[in-house]
Amino acid sequence: MSTDELLYKPAVNIAAEIRSKKLSPVEVTEAVIERIEALNTQINAFCTPMFDIARDKARQAEAAQMRGEFWGPLHGVPYSIKDSTDYAGVRTTTGCVAFKDNIALDHSPSVKRLEAAGGIPLGKTVTPDMAWKGLTDSPLLGTTRNPWNLQYNPGGSSGGSAAAVATGMGPLATGTDGAGSIRIPASFTGVYGLKPSFGRVPITLPNVNQHTHEGPITRTVSDAALMLDLMCGPDDRDLYSLEGKDFGFLANLNTDIKGLKVGWSSTLGFSGRIDAEVIQTCEKAAMNFESLGCSIEETALDLSVSMEVAKRNWQAIMAALVLYKLPHAIDQMDPALVACAREAESRPVGAFLYDKIRAFEDYQKLTTYFTDFDLLLTPTVACLPIQNGRLLPEGYPDHDWDWMEWAPFSSPFNLFHNPAASVPAGFSANGLPIGLQIIGPRHCDLLVLQASMAYETAHPWAHIIPEIGIV
C-alpha cells in the first residue's frame, strides 16, 4: 500500500483493517505525523501538535491489538481537535492571544468519547481569534492556507480542521459551528462537514451559547456518521444537550431516499451578491437528486430576516466575549473582531429581544416548509474561496467586520438548530471547491446523513485530492 493510499483511506476502513490486523496503529499514526511535518509549514493547519501523546497511544493501541483487545470503533485511528475544544493537559487558545497559555483541565465531552473509542489525538487545529469569523487567520496563530490554492483561505472558523482533512493529515477532525464554521470550510476545501442538530453533541466552555454546534469534518459521509455515533449523547456539563445516544447513524446510512420531496433555493430571499459559478454548480448538484429518486422543486422560502437576526446575535455574542470577558486583551485581538463587538454595544437590549421575535416568525416559515418538504438544498456559501489577507471577496464594498455578507445561507440554521451539511458539489473555473448545503428538520440528523450518502455514492468526491496533499 502506498503512503497516499493509506493517508486518504477512510477512517471506517482503517478501523476495520486495524481490527483484522492488516494495519498497525503505529504505522497509521507515523504516516499521518510524517504528512503533518511535511505540509504544516505550508498549510498551517495545526497550531499545537500532540505527537508524543499520539505516539504513546498508538504504541498502547498496537500492543492491545496484538493481544486481541480493542478499545472501541476508533481503535488506533488518528483524529484532530479544533483549538476551541479541550484536551486535558493541552492548551486551548481559541486563536486568542489572551488564552495562549490556557491549559485545559479536562477533556470536552466529544474528545472524551473519541478517546474512549480508541482514537489517537494528533493535535489542535488552527482557528481565528475567538473562532469569530468564516476565515481562518489570527494574530496568535497566523493564517491557514487552502490546499487547493495556497493564495486562498480554507474558510473558518474550523479552517485548520478542514485543511488537515483535505490534505491527508488525518481522516477525522472535530469542528464547531456558530454561524457556518463547519460548513464554510468544508465547502472551501472540498470535504464533508456536518453541523448536527443543536445539543446533539454536548459542548462546554468557551463554546456555550444557543448558536454553537459541534460536529465532524471528514472526507466521507460514512466517517462523519461514525464520528457522530461516538460524539452524541447527553452530558450534564451542557444543559442544552439532547437525550439519546444509540442512533445508529453509521449502521443506517445506506438507505434509499427515493420518494423524498426536496426543495432547492439559490437565495433563501438573500438580496446580496451570489457568485454565478456558485449558483450554477449548486443548482446542477441539486437537480442530481432527481436521479436519486427524489422530486425537486424550487422553493420561494424567504429566510432573509433570520439572516439579519443571526448576524446581530453573532455580534452580541462577540461583544460579550470581547468587551466584557476580555477587555484587557482588546489591543491584541483581530481588529475586525473588535469592530464587530463595538457595533453591537451601541444597540439597545430591547432591539436584540425584538430580533428574537422576528426570527421566530422565520422559524414558523421553516417549520411550515418542512411539513411539505423533507429536505432543503442551498449553496453552502455565496462566494468562492477568498484570498488570504482579505475579509471580503474582491468586488464587495469595504466593511470593518461583516464577513457574514458572503455567508448568508448557514447562520439561519444555527438560529433554528437544524442539522445541515456541506457536500462537495464541484469546482470553479479556477479549480476551487464549491459546496452544496443539505438541511433537514430539527433532530433529523440521520436523514441529512442518508441524503448526503446517497449523493456521495452517485457523485463520489473523496478520490479528488489537492496536489499540495501529494508528497
pLDDT per residue as tens digits for the range 425-463: 999 999 999 999 999 999 999 999 999 999 999 999 999
**Cα–chain center distance at 436:** 14
At residue 471, does pLDDT exceed 60?
Answer: no
How far is 142 from 130, CA to CA, in rounded Å? Answer: 13
What pLDDT is stored for residue 469 in this prediction?
46
User: pLDDT digits over 334-377, tens only?
Assistant: 999 999 999 998 888 788 888 888 889 999 999 999 999 999 99
- Residue bearing cell 464549491: 434
At residue 470, does pLDDT exceed 60?
Answer: no
**Could you tell me the three cell numbers for 81?**
481537535
**Could you tell me the three cell numbers for 434?**
464549491
Categorize the per-residue pLDDT at 306 as very low, low, confident or very high, splitting at 50, 70 and 90. very high
Q: Are 282 and 425 in contact (CB under 8 A)?
A: yes
Q: Is 82 a catalytic residue?
A: yes
**Count of structural domains, the chain:** 1
Q: Is 181 a catalytic residue?
A: yes
How far is 153 from 40, CA to CA, in rounded Å? Answer: 15
What pLDDT is stored for residue 207 in this prediction?
61
How far is 266 from 105, CA to CA, in rounded Å? Answer: 45
**Could you tell me the three cell numbers for 188?**
472551501
Q: Is the peptide bond before 157 cis (omega within 30 degrees of 0)?
A: yes
Q: What is the average pLDDT across 401-415? A: 97
Please indicate, yes or no, whether the overall pTM of this predicted structure exceeds 0.95. Answer: yes
Q: What is the average pLDDT across 58-79? A: 98
Q: Is 21 a catalytic residue?
A: no
Q: Which long-range contacts (CB under 8 A, 24 or more apart) does 221-224 make?
A: 221/192, 221/253, 221/423, 221/449, 221/452, 221/453, 221/456, 222/10, 222/12, 222/250, 222/253, 222/453, 223/10, 223/11, 223/12, 223/171, 223/172, 223/192, 224/192, 224/193, 224/194, 224/421, 224/449, 224/452
Query: Could you say which of 57, 82, 124, 133 is catalytic?
Result: 82
Lowest mean pLDDT among 187-196, 203-212, 260-269, 295-304: 203-212
Give me the CATH number covering residue 150: 3.90.1300.10
Decide: helix, strand or coil at residue 206: coil
Q: For residue 323, what are the domain limits? A: 3-395+404-469
Decide: helix, strand or coil at residue 373: coil
Query: Could you say which of 110, 181, 266, 452 is catalytic?
Result: 181
Query: Could you say which of 80, 157, 197, 410 is catalytic?
Result: 157
**Could you tell me the three cell numbers for 211?**
448558536
